[in-house]
Amino acid sequence: MATEITTKMVTGKVRLSYANIWEPKENDQGQLKYSCALLIPKEDKETLRKIKAIVDALKAEAVAKYKKLPSNFKLPLHDGDEDKPDDPNYAGHYFLNAYANNQPGIAKPIGKGADGKTKFQEITDSTEVYSGCYCKVSINFYLYDNKSKGIGVGLNNIVKVQDGESLAGRSSVNDDFGDEDFDVYDDGDDEDFLS
């Protein structure tokens, strides 16, 4: 009896890039998709081992289906140093792009429950999870066969674990104005504020 391939996994700590996780964006085929790139540090051998095991199993499944791996067969994991040499954020990382038809679950850990399992709080503030922050992400891999053939990555759930420098190039209010002096605005005296 054949062993069932487990195609779902949870990453180690990865950095989000191109995080279109709050609103879907139209892809090349005109479909609305949620998506993000996951930057995986090259030192994270455990996450890379899990990905390799799943990819190898799906490649073997593709070989069984097509008799050999098609020449244009696309693999999901890319080397940031080779494929994005002009982007310093990708240096020292592998990356993959994950997609979903439905918005992924987005949460943060808030401690342990009585059962010893981690408890989570849903995040609804779109400024809290962004391109540049660090997360653990639940993903699943699958074979696709449309205009091209390959292994795709589904985006399931995201748990934020750490803030990071935004990759969107947008500064925060604190970054822009933290060193400025302001008169404190008092709602009750609009005339003084405007004069």
Q: Token pair for residue 160?
A: 């934020």
pLDDT of residue 73: 94
Give the closest residue to 127 by CA, choosing from 157, 160, 176, 87: 160
Residue 58 has a pLDDT of 96
Return the closest-CA partner of residue 12 out of 53, 51, 40, 54. 40
Gap between the Cα atoms of 155 and 137, Å rounded: 8
Say if 176 falls within a structural domain: no
Q: Which pLDDT band holds residue 194 (cuts at 50, 70, 90)? A: very low
Domain presence at residue 82: yes
- Please check whether residue 165 lies inside any domain of the structure: yes
Quote the domain boundaries for residue 32.
8-169
Buried b / exposed e over 107-129, threshold 16 CB at 10 Å, is: beeeeeeeeeeeebeebeeeeeb
State the average pLDDT over residues 145-150.
Answer: 88
Question: Per-residue confidence at 181, pLDDT binned at 50, 70, 90?
Answer: confident
Q: Does residue 195 lie within any of the structural domains?
A: no
| Three-state secondary structure call for residue 192 | helix
Angle at the Cα of 185 from the Cα atoms of 184 and 191, rounded to 5 degrees: 130
Look at strands 134-145 and 14-26 and give their pairing: antiparallel
Domains identified in the chain, total number: 1
pLDDT of residue 2: 45
Would you state the pLDDT for residue 195?
A: 41
Residues 113-130, mean pLDDT to the nearest whole number: 94
In a domain, 144, yes or no: yes
In a domain, 69, yes or no: yes
Sign for the CA dihedral angle at 78, 80, 86, 89 comes to positive
Question: Quick check: is 193 in a domain?
Answer: no
What CATH number is given to the structural domain containing 160? 2.40.50.140
Return the ∠ at Cα 46 (arms to 153 and 33), rounded to 5°.
15
pLDDT at residue 189 is higher than 90: no
**Within-domain flag for 186:** no
